[in-house]
Amino acid sequence: MTQVCLVGTEDVNLRYELLSRETARNALATYDLQEPFANTVAVDTVSLGAAVALLNDLNWYLVRFADAAFIRDPSISETEWLSRNLAASIRDDDVMPADTGRFLKVYGIVESNRASDADDEATSEKESTPDTQATEAGGPPELVEPMLLTRTGDTIPEYDLQDVDETLIVRVTESEFGA
Q: Which one of 2.60.120, 4.10.640, 1.10.3470, 3.30.70 gives the CATH number of domain 2-94?
A: 3.30.70
**Model pLDDT, residue 157:** 87
User: Tell me, what's the pLDDT at 125?
Assistant: 41
Instruction: Measure Cα distances from 51 to 70, 89, 121, 140, 142 in Å.
Output: 9, 13, 40, 23, 23
Tell me: pLDDT of 91 over 70: yes
- Which tens digits make up the pLDDT trace of 148-173? 999 988 888 889 999 999 999 999 99
What does pTM read for this prediction? 0.84
Pairing of strands 142-150, 166-171: unpaired
Burial 64-103 (b: 16+ CB within 10 A, else e): ebbbbbbbbbeebeeebbbbbebbbbbbeeebeeeebeeb
* Higher pLDDT pick, 125 / 71: 71
Within the chain, which residue ranges are assigned CATH 3.30.70?
A: 2-94
35-39, 40-44, 50-54, 138-142: range with lowest mean pLDDT: 138-142
- pLDDT, tens digit, for every residue of 107-119? 999 997 655 555 5
Q: What is the pLDDT of residues 45-83, one digit of tens each?
A: 999 999 999 999 999 999 999 999 999 999 999 999 999
Q: What is the pLDDT of residue 117?
A: 52
